Structure 1
């Protein structure tokens, strides 16, 4: 089992890609703790996995609040021991107008999609440095490299996550801590379904451009994340792993 004896901490783990990561990490033998703002769904997932013998814990927390994040982190460390792997998955979409978007809307968005990558590192790195071991995986997006009209400032946030990933990898390498990004393309989550269903014909157009002929599944992202968290990837750091079915290689 790739993650035996590991403690993996996942943000936004109640559903979508986050849920798939929680499930896969637990299946690979990890103790998995995760946070989310959706209490009902988070508690249901934790109860389901715990009933099958997995070591899983859920704590309600909003990644935009360092106080909540810190409190949740301390609770799961008390339960499962020091965190050995972090997955920054929590995020929201943004389809704002650069003229009408307010300062508060900008700050609220980046407080969810970018800032927690730093905040979770702030919490996890001390123990990782002491242990001379650790892996951080930041869920980015194809929008970090290639974006699309109407996604302001989503592309900016995801580009920033890639920058933070590179800097953390360079700065923490001397402590034998690895930091990588995973950039999904079209993945069949509730957010993607809502986006595709918002306009007639959008789903058909999206499917028609997929090099593999289909939209990806959350579990296909989770498998890559699990690999990066494990000792199967001990010389992988500072990289961005595209899980987009080849979409990023396609010319317009």
Structure 2
């Protein structure tokens, strides 16, 4: 199926590692030119490992800052033209207590997991609207629907991201721009490894036991769905939240 993003310019936030890196790799395979925005300098190493050459660009930037986003989008657009596909993937885990959490800690969670998606969309939407075409995929989480004790207020931020997706889809649909969310469950990434490391050693086995497929996802499996939503194959899909959770959210607890 290679070639579904031929000629596209895809920008991926948080693309240096994990799900973001898998999305970058898959988008390149599908023919896109790819720009990464991330604070993690590992993005440089990723592009070398992928032998991306002139087909990919790494921009160091903090997605919490409109100035960083503006500079990254300007740099990427100068090299590859307007962004035609955006993946708001940057995110962070949080393990806060609702009573002892500070206002600054709260603001930082929502700046990364929710506000940044609007900031980046705001920067690239003029180009999409002018072209009368574009696709945005916001990486939310199964936590938008179902959550877990000890991860306050992650579910609130991801629920907000799904709400933002719906609202934005209605605002820009007339301009030929599609906006969808994708909600992974457990994925073999550093963030999930961090979650398991904080818990009892038996938690991973318990988690696997409640997955209908008996395993958790690989980053590439999430990336496959992202590329579909970016591509013309999903030309009539907008305002949706796609679960990629191996059926975890479909079962009763127990």
TM over 0.5: yes
1:2-58 deviation line (CA, Å, top 9, x unaligned): 00000000000000000000000000000000111111x111112233x35561110
Give the aligned partner of residue 46 of structure 2: 45
Supply the distance in 2 between the matched residues of 1:206 and 1:62 (Cα, whole angstroms). Answer: 33
Whether the aligned pair in 2 keeps the contact of 1:12 and 1:18 (CA below 8 Å) is yes
Supply the distance in 2 between the matched residues of 1:203 and 1:194 (Cα, whole angstroms). Answer: 12
Whether the aligned pair in 2 keeps the contact of 1:16 and 1:218 (CA below 8 Å) is yes
Q: Which runs of 5+ in 2 are unaligned?
A: none
Give the aligned partner of residue 117 of structure 1: 117
- TM superposition shift of 1:176: 1.0
Supply the distance in 2 between the matched residues of 1:172 and 1:68 (Cα, whole angstroms). Answer: 24
- TM superposition shift of 1:197: 2.7
How has the CA–CA distance of structure 1 residues 225 and 218 changed in structure 2, closer, same or farther, with 3 Å as cutoff?
A: same
Whether the aligned pair in 1 keeps the contact of 2:47 and 2:53 (CA below 8 Å) is no
1:182 is paired with a residue of what secondary structure?
Answer: strand
Pairs within 5 Å for 1:52-71: 55-71=55-71
Whether the aligned pair in 2 keeps the contact of 1:12 and 1:36 (CA below 8 Å) is yes
Q: Which runs of 5+ in 1 are unaligned?
A: none
- TM superposition shift of 1:109: 1.1
How many residues end up aligned between the 2 structures? 250
Supply the distance in 2 between the matched residues of 1:38 and 1:127 (Cα, whole angstroms). Answer: 27
Give the aligned partner of residue 162 of structure 2: 162
Match status 1:236 vs 2:234: no
Supply the distance in 2 between the matched residues of 1:29 and 1:224 (Cα, whole angstroms). Answer: 16
1:215-240 deviation line (CA, Å, top 9, x unaligned): 11000000000000001110000000
- TM superposition shift of 1:149: 1.1
1:114 is paired with a residue of what secondary structure?
Answer: helix
Whether the aligned pair in 2 keeps the contact of 1:27 and 1:54 (CA below 8 Å) is no
Supply the distance in 2 between the matched residues of 1:155 and 1:162 (Cα, whole angstroms). Answer: 11
Supply the distance in 1 between the matched residues of 2:18 and 2:138 (Cα, whole angstroms). Answer: 15
Whether the aligned pair in 1 keeps the contact of 2:37 and 2:72 (CA below 8 Å) is yes
1:78-122 deviation line (CA, Å, top 9, x unaligned): 111100000000000111111111111111111101001111111
- Length-normalised TM-score, structure 1: 0.97
Supply the distance in 2 between the matched residues of 1:192 and 1:2 (Cα, whole angstroms). Answer: 30
Match status 1:80 vs 2:80: yes
Whether the aligned pair in 2 keeps the contact of 1:180 and 1:239 (CA below 8 Å) is yes
Whether the aligned pair in 2 keeps the contact of 1:31 and 1:56 (CA below 8 Å) is yes
- Length-normalised TM-score, structure 2: 0.96
Give the aligned partner of residue 200 of structure 1: 201
Give the aligned partner of residue 27 of structure 1: 29
How has the CA–CA distance of structure 1 residues 24 and 54 changed in structure 2, closer, same or farther, with 3 Å as cutoff?
A: farther
1:187-216 deviation line (CA, Å, top 9, x unaligned): 000111121133221111111111111011
